[in-house]
Homo-oligomer: A and B are copies of this chain.
């Protein structure tokens, strides 16, 4: 009996050691948080991961791609805390979490990925789809729950509201002209989300 449409084409030969991939990503992530994107070189990753350089190239085409993979692996969209009862509180908790991440060393990684995305189209696409879009989706969902609950007045333009919330956060992260605090998030929300009228 022969399989006519195998969903998994049966991998042949020696399988990839999962520790290899993990070691590369872990090394890239560590380098990224410490020294920023410029310190994430194939050479440095290879040494830190105790893997040969050609092996890294067998997984990813260049250093920024490894950095992006490492970044996306560890940093998902900020998840809404489950505990808050009201969607408004959940929204606030979600953005507080994002602000915390931006203020922490992880914020440097985010900034580095934004920077990397400016010069590499592929990275930009991945970053938009896997990070930007996910964060917007998560926040949009909570906003709509707030609207459904009549906790806030429905905004005229939902996408504009998202730009008004995320824009200033990224702006401060990248320009560094002012700190990113939970209080700042609260200010943003107060300004952007019209309280229930």
Q: Do B164 and A168 have beta carbons less than 8 Å apart?
A: yes
Q: Which of A122-140 contact B (CB under 8 A)?
A: 124, 127-128, 132-133, 136
Distance of A11 Cα from B45 Cα, bound (Å)? 49
Complex CA–CA separation, A169 to B166 (angstroms): 11
Interface status of A157 (Cβ within 8 A of chain B)? yes
In the complex, whether A160 has a CB less than 8 A from a CB of chain B is: yes
Instruction: Tell me which residues across on chain B come within 8 A of A133, comparing CB atoms.
Output: 177
Interface of A is mostly: helix
Nearest CB of B to A130, in Å: 12
**Chain A, 142-157, contact with B by CB distance < 8 Å: what is the 0/1 string?**
0000000000000001
**Which chain A residues numbered 155 to 187 have a C-beta less than 8 Å away from chain B?**
157, 159-160, 163-164, 166-172, 174-178, 187
A→B interface (CB under 8 Å): 36-38, 111-112, 114-119, 124, 127-128, 132-133, 136, 157, 159-160, 163-164, 166-172, 174-178, 187-188, 191-192
